[in-house]
Amino acid sequence: MNTRIQRANRKRIFEAALEVFSNHGFRGATLDQIATEAGLSKPNLLYYFDSKEAIHAALLTDLLDTWLAPLRMIDPDGVPRDEILGYMRRKLDMARAYPRESRLFANEILQGAPRIESFIRNDLRLLVEDKVQLLQGWIDAGRIAPVDPYHLIFSIWALTQHYADFAAQIGMIRGDDHDPLEGAEGFLNHLYARLLAP
């Protein structure tokens, strides 16, 4: 059983690793950087995790359930347009609340997803296929416009996660003191409401 100090140190390591991995990617991150960010010595860090890979894997494992939650929440018995707009808003909320986690996930995908390939090919693919069938059912019933269900989901990912993954670019264009998500929800609500109108 972990002591209070051990739990606190693991939390510090996760927080530090998230900062380092999200800024430098897996390849650019080092154990020394993570230890420094956590305020621990490298030997102390290695007491908890024996490698950079182990820390990265633990972070990704913790993230994956959080990542799937907004898509899982689409209710088959709900009003289709409201459910899709609700999903889009939840993804925007995640971009605001979890920007480092989003960049961690994006960096992993850009490397070919070597550490989460099984998750993508199984859990994520099956969940997306389930929601694609739901969306197609709504389309076939005339409840939303005929759009490609896969590309509808992919576009929501692209148009929401961009605000976390490319926050630096948005800051350079709009000004670093500007909230990168200001106006995003209204714009995307309008865009998808019009797109989905039967």
Mean pLDDT of 114-141: 95
Q: How many CB atoms lie within 10 A of CB 98?
A: 19
179/187: higher pLDDT: 187
Computed over every residue of the chain, the mean pLDDT equals 93
Judged against a pLDDT cut of 90, whether residue 177 lies above it is answered with: no
Give the per-residue pLDDT at 91: 97
150, with CB counted inside 10 A (0-12, 13-18, 19+), is middle
Sketch the domain layout of the chain as residue ranges.
1-50, 58-196
CATH number among 3.30.360.10, 3.40.50.2000, 1.10.10.60, 3.20.20.80, domain 1-50: 1.10.10.60
Using pLDDT thresholds of 50, 70 and 90, give the confidence band for residue 6: confident
Q: 59-68, 119-128, 147-156 — which is least confidently predicted?
A: 59-68
Give the per-residue pLDDT at 183: 94
Q: ∠62-105-64 over CA atoms, to 5°?
A: 30
Superfamily of domain 58-196 in CATH is Tetracycline Repressor, domain 2 (1.10.357.10)
Judged against a pLDDT cut of 80, whether residue 2 lies above it is answered with: no
Mean pLDDT of 52-79: 92
Give the per-residue pLDDT at 1: 58
Token pair of 28 as six digits: 């650019």
60/77: higher pLDDT: 77
Mean pLDDT of 164-172: 93
Give the number of residues written for the chain.
198
DSSP codes of every residue in 45-83 = HHHH-SSHHHHHHHHHHHHHHHHHHHHHT--TTS-HHHH
| Interval 29-62: pLDDT, tens | 999 999 999 999 999 999 999 999 999 988 988 8
Token pair of 8 as six digits: 């606190």
99-110 and 149-165 are packed helices; what angle lies between their axes, rounded to 10 degrees? 120
Give the per-residue pLDDT at 17: 94
Judged against a pLDDT cut of 90, whether residue 4 lies above it is answered with: no
Mean pLDDT of 83-109: 94
Q: How many CB atoms lie within 10 A of CB 33?
A: 18
Judged against a pLDDT cut of 70, whether residue 146 lies above it is answered with: yes
Mean pLDDT of 52-81: 92
Give the per-residue pLDDT at 178: 84
Using pLDDT thresholds of 50, 70 and 90, give the confidence band for residue 25: confident
